[in-house]
Chain A
Amino acid sequence: MSVFLSSLGFGLISAAVLAIATVGFTMQFAVTNVLNLAYGSVMINSAFVTYYLNYHAHLNAWVSMIGGVLTGAIASYLLNRFVFTPFQRRNLPPITIVIVALGVDLCGTFGLQAIVGGSYFSYKQSLGRELHFWGMYLSTLQLIIIGICVVVMGLIHWLLKYTRLGKAMRATSANASLARNSGIRTQRVISSTWLISGALCGLAGTVFAMNTGVFEATSAQLYIVLLLAAMFLGGPGSAYGAMLGALTIGVATELSAGYFNPEYKEVIAFVVLLGMLTFRPYGLFGSEKTI
């Protein structure tokens, strides 16, 4: 029982980080049909901007996080504006865009490594008091991260359901040309989506780094596997699916780590991903993409 509960605790915190990341990733896919495999590199670059503000500018880690969030938003916006959109205008098959994204990922990750070197970093931040309840052990920091996740998910729900922009996003995702013909300025919707999803990406990068404790330039390189598993589980392009997928993958990986072997904990994500791609490529519930 205690293994279960303590793993569940770890699972919830993993799920919180993963949910923030996956929702951003899936929104990008929803409105632009791009599998942005450079997402991990934007995450880690944002985490390093937070680090710089925190360590060298001596700001509080939570204040520094704003810098990370802005970095993610701006970098993602620029990436879409100056890389993905021009390539998409040439009517290339989606696979070409994926290859371009991989190229961007190499530049982003290893460009960062060239600057910061191969060593490990950590934020100047206290984990806070360790809290013990219902058999789970969580630090105050981790609780705050879970709190951030809940608030952000609430905001995304509000955005998609109750705002004009959210409705426009859903329309663009369902059928971009129809949305355009109905008077929605899709280009603007797409730009806004990349700003918002980029902010989520920056936030995810920072909380990912906070939660890991120590990180290096290549730390987020394999995070994309978890992200993809969570996205495909919930249905690519679906924000709510991403939340559910992240919760499932986050908890499942930590439970398998607790019961079997922590070295193989990603295996479950891998199996889920391949299984989904094989049998239900549009998610457990969806038949085509819907945000």
Chain B
Amino acid sequence: MSAIAFYVATIIVYGAVDSMACLALNVQFGFAGLSNFGFIIFQAGGAYVAAVLSMGPWQKSNEGFQQYVLGWHLAWPLPWIGAALFGGLLALPFVFLVGKRLRGDFAAVGLLVSAVLLNQLVNNFVPLFNGAAGISIVPAPFSHYLNPQGLGYQFAYGGVAVVLTVLVYFLLRRVTESPYGRSLRAMRDNDIVADALGKNVRVQRTSMLILGGMIAGLSGAILVGFINLWAPGAWGYAETIVLFAAIIVGGAGNHKGAVLGALLVPLAFEEVTRFIPPLSNPALVPALEWVAIGLLIIGFLWFRPDGILPERRRILSGSKSSMPKPVPFSGESDSLINLGNLDQMDFRQLLRLEGDASDHGIILSTDRLTRAFHGVTVVSEVSIEFQRGRLTGLIGPNGAGKSTTLAMLAGTLAPTSGKVLYEGRDITSMPSNERAKSGMIRTFQLASEFKKLTVLENLVSAIPRQSGDSFVGALRGRRFWGRDDAENIERASEMLEGFGLTEYADSYAGGLSGGQRRLVEIMRALLAQPTILLLDEPMAGVHPNLAHKIGDQLTRLVASGMTIVMVEHELAIMDAFCDPVIVLAEGRVLAQGTMSELRAMKEVVEAYLVG
């Protein structure tokens, strides 16, 4: 009877440890889009630190059979706190891998390889970690109060582990169900766009790497205090894959899914196979276990990629019906889009536009801006100026360097040489997310909505200076940011109403038609409160009717004091809305002026006909 009770207590501890690990990895992978293939490093590191902090000082005489460092003999809970702190510290060397420049899968490979090699180093390096043997007789944390051999101790331990897991659950929920969590998911869906809207992707990823690392460290500490030994063999890189399998099965981006996955995959697998009678080939069962993990990953990603408990759709609009509006399939429906009450909307008030709308001084300029790819010069010594409160068009044939120029203005692309000046200040080396914060917002030629954020979430995510859009702000809770967020949702809803898309507020943006997605992108850019709006072919693929409606609104925005730069190759649009227009051809400025002036220029007409 008591054997079963001991077994149950063990299951509880393992379940809590696995759940905690999966919760942490899910915040990194499911919410922040950070594929931490080296997760096990953090768990193993925390476990080791917890062990050596609780053990007595190493002496050659009595404990000479194993070597370790520290040995501070600290009382609980200090070793566990130390483990969490160490888990967080371990994140720092990996920060460079998750910076925005590196492809996600490359970074993941870097982390995976780190896990493999660190494990190998530990296995071979005796003085610090005692090699493959690892360390044993790690003290039981609560032995001062209870007899570690007793059933009471076992269940008390399980209780502590479960309580901590529940605390972690609520802590992580507090982080993810906040404006900050929205920014994390936006980064997950499209990091380049999130960056262009002013999110500091590097800081967000670093924070999640540290937070996840701390929780991983704690979970390792709980495990090592229970089993009283630590050996590198138990922390192979493949254990991370098991945790990934758990999250994929349970449901990435869903905390309950992470816990469910933890109980189904690492725990159940381990426990069920324990009861298989020994076979003649002792390697068979473990081998088949791994095969099953592999099949689970492939099978779920194919048949049920969102897991058993998919990510929850966040209803922000407050509407009662939770059913999303079915989205029409064909692009034809774009011609039917009617912009709502946009004409009555006061942009100055809604977008907090400041400044004198009649001031047409130079706000943005470039000085001999040049960009080369593989030795081919795409933009060559372009020096142009943009006036405040005007809608300047950039036209030119394909390959003229329009989008490249725009990308350099926005900071998405670094120039090979030359300068960008914003209100007289040299901003050439300013990162794109800071340019966004200072009021330069760009849109993208290709679809760039955050697919698994609702339309309303897409819009709200862009609003600058949200009080809940930081790690600390999120931790302070809804009481701190709730009111501000409600206001932001209100503003975004107003915008949505203006554009006549209220009915899609709670639909995933990824499911909209092409024209609707364009509108979402424009609305989102506007809500970022740009001083300068840089539009990269906003009318591409949009029905001409809708294009003209958008154009009218852009004209109104400019009249309210916004500066807009628009790349476009549809001459009709330029004719109707842009003044002045700059013509680029083969990477150089060919001409500039009003459209009627340009039409009179022979070389402009030729460039277009030839191009």
Residues of B within 8 Å of A35, CB to CB, are 105-106, 109
B388 to chain A, nearest CB (A): 37
Report the bound CA distance from A243 to B374 in whole Å: 22
**Neighbouring B residues of A83 by C-beta, 8 Å:** 298
Give the nearest-CB partner of B236 in chain A: A221
Question: How distant is A5 from chain B, measured CB to nearest CB, in Å?
Answer: 26
Q: Which of A52-106 contact B (CB under 8 A)?
A: 83, 86-87, 92-100, 102-106
- Min Cβ gap B26→A in Å is 14
Residue in B closest to A103 when the chains form the complex, CB atoms: B297
Residues of A within 8 A of B244 (CB): 99, 102
Q: Are A222 and B248 in contact (CB under 8 A)?
A: no
* A117 adjacent to B283 (CB under 8 Å): yes
Enumerate B1-60 residues with CB–CB distance to A below 8 Å: 35
Chain B residues whose CB sits within 8 angstroms of the CB of A96 once the complex forms: 301
A-side contacts of B284, CB under 8 Å: 114, 117
Q: Which residue of B lies closest to A109 (CB)?
A: B290
Interface-centre pick from A99, A222, A267, A281 (highest chain B CB count, 10 A) = A99
CA–CA, A97 and B103, complex, Å: 13
Partner-binding segment picked from A10-18, A138-146, A180-188, A269-277 = A269-277
Give, as a whole number of angstroms, the nearest-CB distance from B243 to chain A: 12
Q: Given the known A-B contacts A87-B301, A278-B96, are A95 and B108 also in contact in the complex, defined by CB atoms under 8 Å? A: yes
Q: Are B106 and A281 in contact (CB under 8 A)?
A: yes
Contacts of B102 in A (CB 8 A): 277-278, 281
Interface hits, B105-151 → A, CB 8 Å:
105-110, 112-114, 116-117, 120-121, 124
Chain A residues within an 8 Å CB radius of B298: 83, 100, 103-104, 107
A100–B298 CA distance with the chains assembled, in angstroms: 6
Q: Which of B110, B297, B302 contacts A102 (CB 8 A)?
A: B297
Q: With a CB–CB cut-off of 8 A, which chain A residues contact B238?
A: 106
A-B contact count (CB 8 A): 127
Residue among B112, B120, B289, B291 with the most chain A CB within 10 A? B291
Question: Within the complex, what minimum Cβ distance (angstroms) separates A30 from chain B?
Answer: 15
With A96-B301, A266-B117, A274-B114: A103-B295 Cβ-Cβ less than 8 Å: yes
Residue numbers in B under 8 Å from A277 (CB-CB): 97, 102, 106-107, 109-110
Do B294 and A104 have beta carbons less than 8 Å apart? yes
> In the complex, what's the smallest C-beta–C-beta distance from B118 to chain A, in angstroms?
9
A153 to B25 Cα, complex, angstroms: 42
In the complex, A175→B120 CA distance in Å? 39
Instruction: Answer yes or no: A118 CB below 8 A from chain B CBs.
Output: yes
B299, closest chain A residue (CB): A103
Closest residue on chain B to residue A106 by CB atoms:
B294
Min C-beta distance of B125 to chain A, whole Å: 9
Question: Chain A CB within 10 Å — which of B96, B106, B297, B301 has the most?
Answer: B106
C-alpha spacing A222/B289, complex, angstroms: 19
Residue of B109, B281, B284, B296 most packed against chain A (CB within 10 A): B109
User: Contacts of A166 on B, CB cut-off 8 Å?
Assistant: none
> Which of B104, B105, B124 has the most A CB atoms < 10 Å from its CB?
B105
With A103-B245, A287-B374 known, 18 other A-B pairs at CB within 8 A are A94-B103, A99-B248, A102-B244, A103-B301, A104-B298, A106-B238, A106-B241, A107-B294, A107-B298, A110-B294, A114-B291, A117-B281, A225-B113, A270-B117, A277-B109, A278-B97, A278-B102, A287-B373
Closest 7 CB pairs of A and B: A106-B294, A103-B297, A118-B283, A110-B290, A107-B294, A270-B117, A114-B287
Residues of B within 8 A of A (CB): 35, 96-97, 101-110, 112-114, 116-117, 120-121, 124, 238, 241, 244-245, 248, 281-284, 286-291, 293-298, 301-302, 305, 373-374
